[in-house]
Structures are given as structure tokens and as C-alpha cells.
Amino acid sequence: MTHVVAKPCVDCKYTDCVVVCPVECFYEGERMLYIHPDECIDCEACVPECPVEAIFHEDNLPEEWSDYLQLNADMAPQSEVITEKQEPLADS
């Protein structure tokens, strides 16, 4: 099982979640963050840290955002790992 970063993160990219991740499974895309499904250990430490509530367990992912499960799986391996807090995007 894994956690998924969904639509509320698009054009936001708060990084509060990455500093609490014990396995460094967050990856930074151009417009959002992704969680690598093969690296996530399901600890849920990131969930309460997200100020826009964009992180969901895959079993609780809202139906309208179901495509984000595959998006995270596809994009995380193509992106750079992120482990330190950064400034969110300007529109956040």
C-alpha cells in the first residue's frame, strides 16, 4: 500500500511533508510533489503535515482524483528526490 499526492498539491508544492518522511519517498515535479509507491512504507507521518490536505492513503483517495495514483507511480521515478523544506510555489 502507498500514499498518494493528489490535486490539492498542483501549483502549490508545500514541502512540510518531505521533512517528516523517514524513507525519503517524495519526489519533486514541476508543478507538484509525488510519492514513489515502491518506497512509501505507509507510516502516515506526511498526512497531517500537508497544509492543503493533498495526501491520501490509496484506499481513501477520492474517486475524482483516482488518476493521481498512477500519476505518482509514473512521475516519481522520473523526478528528483526531495528531502528538505522549500518555499512553496508563488500562488500558494
**86 part of a folded domain:** no
The structural domain count of the chain equals 1
**Predicted pLDDT of residue 88:** 86
d(CA 57, CA 42): 8
Instruction: Determine, yes or no, domain membership for 92.
Output: no
For residue 60, the domain's CATH number is: 3.30.70.20
The confidence score (pLDDT) of residue 91 equals: 57
Q: What average pLDDT score do residues 63-75 get?
A: 98
- pLDDT, tens digit, 9 for 90 and up, residues 3-51: 999 999 999 989 999 999 999 999 999 999 999 999 999 999 999 999 9
Q: Whole-model pTM?
A: 0.93
Q: Hey, which residues does 27 pair with through a beta bridge? A: 34, 81
Query: Three cell numbers at 21?
Result: 518522511
DSSP 81: E
